């Protein structure tokens, strides 16, 4: 028979990783939003490149599309790692709860799944940072200087 005090303690023990799941869900939302913008921009650029006859614009457009493809892949990796993190943290909660409620030795597995989840989260954050760095890498601030020289100051 399950002891009610064990169930209460099990729920308390499993609640802390739930807060981590909330952070993971927020990160998935943020990265998914960035991925959606990358896809939208790629669609616009594809249409502009197809319609253009200016070789310089086509070269710049293709270079930007290549950057967008890379950024999209990195964002996908980040989402995949965040999803893996959520799965591992979910397993942690299950093993903590089952281990405490039924006195099953699941703590070693819970520790492993929690640490693997944290590692996955850190890797996802690294991908997120890499993608944001690439997002600014393509910006050409020389256009602003050229515009000022040509008398287009604002």
**pLDDT tens-place values along the chain, 154 residues long:** 566 666 676 666 667 788 899 999 999 999 999 999 999 999 999 999 999 999 999 999 999 999 999 999 999 999 999 999 999 999 998 888 777 767 777 778 888 999 999 999 999 999 999 999 999 887 766 655 555 555 555 4
Which residue range forms the structural domain that includes residue 118?
Answer: 4-149
* 71 found inside a domain: yes
DSSP H or E stretch at residue 62: helix 55-101
- The answer to whether position 34 is within a domain reads yes
Measured between alpha carbons, how far is residue 100 from residues 63, 124, 135 in Å? 55, 30, 46
Number of domains in the chain: 1
Please measure the distance between the N-terminal and C-terminal CA atoms of the chain and give it in whole angstroms. 76
What pLDDT shows up at residue 90? 92
Q: How much is the pLDDT for 119?
A: 97
- Residue 154 domain flag: no
Residue 100 lies in a domain: yes
Our measurement of the distance from residue 151's CA atom to the centroid of its chain's CA atoms, rounded to an integer in Å, reads 42
Measured CA to CA, the distance from residue 84 to residue 73 in angstroms comes to 16
Under a CB-based contact definition with an 8 Å cutoff, are residues 89 and 31 in contact? no
Structure tokens at 5: 């005090």
Q: What is the model's pLDDT at position 154?
A: 47
pLDDT in the model for residue 108: 82
- Match 């005090």 to its residue by tokens: 5
The residues, any chain, with a CB within 8 Å of residue 85's CB and separated by 6 or more, are: 24, 117, 118, 120, 121, 124
Three-state SS for 145? helix
Model pTM score: 0.79
Domain membership flag for residue 110: yes
For 109-142, what is each residue's pLDDT tens digit?
888 999 999 999 999 999 999 999 999 887 766 6
Within its chain, how far is the Cα of 130 from the centroid? Answer: 11
């Amino acid at each position: 028979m399950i002891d009610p005090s064990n169930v209460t303690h099990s729920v308390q023990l499993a609640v802390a990783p739930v807060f981590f799941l909330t952070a993971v869900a927020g990160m998935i939302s943020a990265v998914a939003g960035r991925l959606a913008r990358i896809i939208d921009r790629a669609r616009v650029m594809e249409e502009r490149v197809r319609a253009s006859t200016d070789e310089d614009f086509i070269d710049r457009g293709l270079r930007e599309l290549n950057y967008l493809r890379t950024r999209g892949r990195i964002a996908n990796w980040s989402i995949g790692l965040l999803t893996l993190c959520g799965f591992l943290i979910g397993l942690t909660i299950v093993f903590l709860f089952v281990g405490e409620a039924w006195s099953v030795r699941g703590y070693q597995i819970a520790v492993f799944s929690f640490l693997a989840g944290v590692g996955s989260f850190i890797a996802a954050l690294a991908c997120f940072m890499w993608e944001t760095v690439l997002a600014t890498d393509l910006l050409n601030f020389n256009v602003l200087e050229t515009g000022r020289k040509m008398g287009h100051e604002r």
